[in-house]
Amino acid sequence: MTTFVLVHGAWHGPSSWDRVVPVLHAAGARTLTPDLSDPGDHGLHDHAEAVVAEIDAAIDAADDRDELILVGHSYAGLVVREAADLRPQAIDHIVLVDGWAGADGAGMLTLAPPDFTVAVLTAAEVHGDGRRIPAPPPELFGVVDPDDVAWLAQRLLPQPLRTFTETTHLSGAVDRIPGTAIYCTPQTYPFDRFGKEVGYRTLAMEGPHDVMLTHPYQLARLLMETTQFGSRKPEV
């Protein structure tokens, strides 16, 4: 059986996967959805450790034939790669969904363009006590359907600034795990390039940044396809 650990992006919570999870379950998969949405003074490394705890729980519940796929949306691309680097023997495949990613020392503010950095730091200083980044409106994630906008607006939360200022600590173990970078088109940031630069195959998917809300069936299908592509546990 395949277990997907689905990690939400910045300002979101586990509910962002609510429409994908039933589709994966119907296909016979298990899912875990770590909650990184606490707006306390947490950083990227805290989030990676939280995902490691979910990985360890999945290992305890699995047998040797089970497959574990780690999925990170947006900011969580950085989180899942650090978590996988800490547990490389447990992960069969990594999937980025419009995910930020880079080598050791990469972070949101090292990968993003200058105008993004200025906007984030200004928002945190002016509206977030210097520690939290207020949530953007749903439309900034490409969500435009009125019902979806209302649903998402109720669930977006401030993001701790440390999650954007901290950079990844990677030993290189993560680079021995196969990966897929799904990037949404038209692109908002060069997520295809981020995937290619860390050695992942890339797949285009038409849809907005929050594609798990707007196109859950199509995304679930692509996630299931990764179970047949280059999955293997790295040697330790």
Strand 93-97 versus strand 67-73 pairing type? parallel
Contact 50, 171 (CB under 8 A): no
**Would residue 187 count as lying in a domain?**
yes
Q: Is 233 within a domain?
A: no
What are the helix and strand counts (H, E) for the chain?
10, 8
In a structure prediction context, what are the per-residue pLDDT tens digits for the chain, which is 236 residues long? Answer: 899 999 999 999 999 999 999 999 999 999 999 999 988 889 999 999 999 999 998 887 766 668 999 999 999 999 999 999 999 999 999 999 999 999 999 999 999 999 999 999 999 999 988 999 999 999 999 999 999 999 999 999 999 999 999 999 999 999 999 999 999 999 999 999 999 999 999 999 999 999 999 999 999 999 999 876 555 554 54
pLDDT at 131: 93
How far apart are the C-alpha atoms of 198 and 183, rounded to whole Å?
14
Residues counted in the chain:
236
Cα distance between residue 116 and residue 129, in whole Å: 19
Give the pLDDT confidence score for residue 234 in this predicted structure: 46
pLDDT of residue 95: 98
In-domain check, residue 215: yes
Q: What is the pLDDT of residue 211?
A: 98
Cα 140–Cα 96–Cα 2 angle in degrees, nearest 5? 125
pTM for the whole thing?
0.94
Are 158 and 39 in contact by the 8 Å Cβ rule? The answer is yes
* Per-residue model confidence (pLDDT) at position 60: 75
CA dihedral 59, 28, 148, 208 (to 10 degrees): 80
Instruction: Give the CATH number of the domain where residue 50 resides.
Output: 3.40.50.1820
Residue linked to tokens 């899912």: 31
Task: State the Cα–Cα distance between residues 208 and 162, nearest whole angstrom.
Answer: 26
SS3 185: strand
In a domain, 152, yes or no: yes
162: in domain: yes
Number of domains in the chain: 1
Residue whose C-alpha is closest to residue 211's, from 150, 157, 127, 148: 148
Domain that holds residue 158: 2-228
Residue 96 covered by a domain: yes
In a domain, 235, yes or no: no
Domain assignment present for 52: yes
- Tell me the C-alpha distance between 127 and 119, whole Å: 11
User: Under DSSP, is residue 152 helix (H, G, I), strand (E, B) or coil?
Assistant: helix
